[in-house]
C-alpha cells in the first residue's frame, strides 16, 4: 500500500492489472475505505485500485470552503483525480463512480479529461437526478439519524444490521469533524452560473450504468435517462439491490464491473 501525502489519503493496491479509480458516494461522513470495503479486495485481484477520499469528505475537508453547488464540486473532484493520476504516474485509468459524489466526478472527468480515462461504471444515476428536497442527517446530527440515513441505502436493512450499526458509528464521527457540515451543505446548494454541466453527448467512452432495482434514493429512471443520453452506454438494473449495489449484491457487482472493464 502506498503511503499517502498528509491530508490526501488515496490508498492504492500493488496489483499489476489495469489502473482503476474507485470514487465513493456522497453521504454524510463517508470516506473511501468504508464505502468500498465490501468489494475492494476482490477488485484488487484484477486491477490496480486507487480509492481516494474525495474533496469534502474523509481527510479532504480542509481548504474546500470556496466551493458551492454540485457542478463546482464535481469539477474540483475531477481535477483532484487528474492530480492523483499524475502523482502515481498513470496515463489512463478506468473509473467506478458511485452516486452523486463519485458518479458526478466521473462524468466531469470523462468530459474534461477524456484522454485520461478508458471505461467507466456509473452507479445510482451519477448525481444526474434532482437535488434532494432536504439535506440528510445534519438537521438532526445524532447516531440514530445517521443509522436511519444509511438504512435507506440498502434494499433490506434486516440483512445488514451489523454493518449499518458499525458504519453509523464511523460515519457519525467523520460527519462531525470541523468543517464537514459546511462542506456537505454547500454540495447541495443551488448556484446560478458556475461551471456548466457535462454534455453527455460529448462523452464517447464506453459506460456501464448500474442501478439497484430497489433503490430508495434515486429511481431507476435517472440512470435510464443517463444511459440513453450517452453515445456508448448500457444500463444494467441489478435485481434485489438498493442504492448500495456493491453492498447488497457484491458478487453481481464484482462480476458486472470485471466483465465490463475487461472487455
Q: pLDDT tens track of the chain, all 263 residues?
A: 232 333 345 565 656 799 999 999 999 999 999 999 999 999 999 999 999 999 999 999 988 888 999 999 999 999 999 999 999 999 999 999 999 999 999 999 999 999 999 999 999 999 999 988 889 999 999 999 999 999 999 999 999 999 999 999 999 999 999 999 999 999 998 888 778 889 999 999 999 999 999 999 999 999 999 999 999 999 999 999 999 999 999 999 999 999 999 98
Longest CA pairwise span in the chain (Å): 45
Q: Which cell numbers in the block locate residue 231?
A: 453515445
Q: Report d(CA 241, CA 159) in Å as an integer.
A: 12
Q: What pairing do the DSSP bridges indicate for beta strands 48-52 and 10-12?
A: antiparallel
For the chain, the structural domain boundaries read 10-261
Q: Which helix (H) or strand (E) holds 11?
A: strand 10-12
pTM here is 0.93
The one catalytic residue in 31, 53, 145, 215 is 215
Report H helices in 1-47: 32-36, 40-43
The alpha-carbon radius of gyration of the chain (Å, integer) is 17
To the query of whether residue 243 is one of the catalytic residues in this protein, the response is yes
- pLDDT for 5 equals 35
The one catalytic residue in 24, 160, 205, 243 is 243
The one catalytic residue in 34, 99, 186, 223 is 99
- pLDDT for 18 equals 96
Domain 10-261 in CATH 2.170.190.11? no
Q: Report d(CA 89, CA 77) in Å as an integer.
A: 18
To the query of whether residue 254 is one of the catalytic residues in this protein, the response is no
Amino acid at each position: 500500500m502506498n503511503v499517502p501525502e498528509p491530508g490526501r489519503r488515496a490508498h492504492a493496491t500493488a496489483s499489476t492489472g489495469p489502473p482503476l479509480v474507485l470514487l465513493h458516494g456522497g453521504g454524510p461522513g463517508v470516506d473511501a475505505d468504508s464505502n468500498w470495503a465490501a468489494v475492494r479486495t476482490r477488485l484488487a485481484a484484477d486491477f490496480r485500485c486507487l480509492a481516494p477520499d474525495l474533496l469534502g469528505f474523509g481527510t479532504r475537508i480542509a481548504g474546500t470552503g470556496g466551493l458551492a453547488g454540485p457542478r463546482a464540486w464535481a469539477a474540483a473532484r475531477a481535477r483532484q483525480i487528474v492530480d492523483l493520476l499524475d502523482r502515481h504516474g498513470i496515463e489512463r485509468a478506468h473509473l467506478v463512480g458511485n452516486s452523486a459524489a463519485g458518479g458526478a466526478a466521473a462524468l466531469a472527468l470523462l468530459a474534461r479529461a477524456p484522454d485520461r480515462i478508458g471505461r467507466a461504471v456509473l452507479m445510482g444515476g451519477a448525481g444526474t437526478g434532482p437535488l434532494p428536497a432536504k439535506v440528510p442527517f445534519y438537521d438532526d446530527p445524532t447516531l440514530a439519524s445517521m443509522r436511519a440515513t444509511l438504512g435507506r441505502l440498502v434494499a433490506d436493512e434486516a440483512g445488514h444490521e451489523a454493518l449499518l450499526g458499525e458504519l453509523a458509528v464511523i460515519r457519525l464521527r467523520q460527519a462531525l469533524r470541523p468543517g464537514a457540515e459546511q462542506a456537505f451543505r454547500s454540495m447541495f446548494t443551488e448556484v446560478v452560473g458556475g461551471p456548466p454541466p457535462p454534455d453527455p453527448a460529448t462523452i464517447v467512452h464506453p459506460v456501464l450504468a448500474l442501478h439497484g432495482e430497489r433503490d430508495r434514493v434515486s429511481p431507476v429512471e435517472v440512470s435510464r435517462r443517463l444511459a440513453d443520453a450517452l453515445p456508448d452506454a448500457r444500463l444494467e438494473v441489478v435485481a434485489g439491490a438498493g442504492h448500495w449495489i456493491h453492498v447488497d449484491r457484491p458478487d453481481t457487482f464484482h462480476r458486472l464491473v470485471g466483465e465490463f472493464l475487461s472487455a
